[in-house]
């Protein structure tokens, strides 16, 4: 099902739509996030190119991402567009939809344990989690890693917060991202090897200050060295890599050495 908090979508937002009827003049769709409210895609909003056969672009039961153009609650009418959805917007919305589905499956378990409807669970714990984290699934990921303590600011009962946190730890695996690159380092003089060793050791120690991420540095055969960071958060991984590389670079250059880095 996957529920949105708002009863109606807003103009200019993106929504999941399922085609229910395709006609020569356009397509009728249902919006599952808004309790299957009906929307309409005029043929002029199907594609940016000439539409010879509308069914080459959309067909019954197809799930698509649409952009909301106009909403008229009084007339129960929603105008939608396919052609105004970029590939990136489509990718982001589909990812949001998948995350919302995963969140709802967990909330359904909570509903079953407490003999509640899914709507009641959304009201009592789902929306309060969204209030704090901006997205329910983000809150569940945080709970999977940090337990019920991350729900300190969530306005819900201790029982529900613990149930949700426990289920999150049992069922949600935090995805990790990996970024790496190759350093080429040379330091002239008899102490060059020791300078490189000291710089890499200090860089590795800097990376280890982040307990939820892993930093590795190892030789590929002098003068080439691998720097790899694995983290649950891409932005954090980038920051750690930049921090470690900056420290190593300073050490090498302060000792008249040269260093280059090629990200993989």
pLDDT at 2: 85
Query: Is the peptide bond between 75 and the residue preceding it cis, with omega within 30 degrees of 0?
Result: no
For the chain, list the domains and their CATH numbers. Answer: 14-83 (2.40.50.140), 88-171 (1.10.150.190), 177-263 (3.30.70.1130)
In tens, the pLDDT along 38-76 reads: 999 999 999 999 999 999 999 999 999 999 999 999 999
Residue of 230, 7, 126, 263 whose CA lies nearest to 117: 126
Pairing label, strands 77-81, 37-42: parallel
In tens, the pLDDT along 117-128 reads: 999 999 999 999
Please, which pLDDT band fits residue 192 given cuts at 50, 70 and 90?
A: very high
Range 230-252 average pLDDT: 93
Give the three-state DSSP class for 258.
Answer: strand
Which residue's structure tokens are 């280890």? 208
Please, which pLDDT band fits residue 93 given cuts at 50, 70 and 90?
A: very high
Range 126-153 average pLDDT: 95
pLDDT at position 171 over 80: yes
pTM over 0.85: no
Please, which pLDDT band fits residue 145 given cuts at 50, 70 and 90?
A: confident
């Amino acid at each position: 099902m996957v529920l949105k908090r708002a009863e109606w979508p807003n103009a200019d937002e993106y929504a999941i739509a399922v085609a229910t009827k395709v006609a020569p003049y356009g397509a009728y769709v249902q919006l599952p996030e808004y309790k299957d409210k009906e929307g309409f895609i005029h043929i002029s909003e199907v594609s940016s190119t000439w539409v010879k056969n509308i069914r080459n672009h959309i067909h019954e039961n197809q799930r698509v991402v649409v952009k909301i153009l106009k909403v008229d609650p009084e007339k129960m009418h929603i105008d939608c567009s396919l052609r105004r959805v970029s590939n990136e917007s489509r990718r982001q919305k589909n990812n949001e939809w998948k995350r919302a589905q995963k969140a709802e499956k967990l909330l359904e378990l909570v509903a079953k344990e407490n003999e509640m409807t899914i709507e009641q669970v959304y009201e009592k714990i789902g929306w309060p989690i969204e209030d704090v984290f901006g997205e329910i699934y983000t809150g569940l990921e945080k709970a999977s890693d940090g337990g019920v303590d991350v729900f300190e600011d969530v306005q819900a009962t201790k029982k529900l917060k613990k149930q949700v946190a426990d289920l999150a730890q049992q069922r949600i695996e935090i995805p990790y991202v990996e970024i790496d690159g190759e350093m080429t380092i040379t330091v002239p003089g008899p102490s060059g090897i020791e300078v490189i060793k000291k710089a890499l050791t200090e860089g590795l120690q800097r990376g280890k200050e982040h307990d939820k991420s892993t930093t590795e540095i190892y030789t590929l055969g002098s003068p080439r060295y691998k720097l790899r960071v694995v983290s649950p958060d891409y932005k954090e991984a980038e920051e750690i890599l930049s921090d470690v590389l900056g420290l190593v670079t300073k050490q090498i250059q302060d000792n008249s050495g040269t260093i280059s880095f090629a990200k993989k």
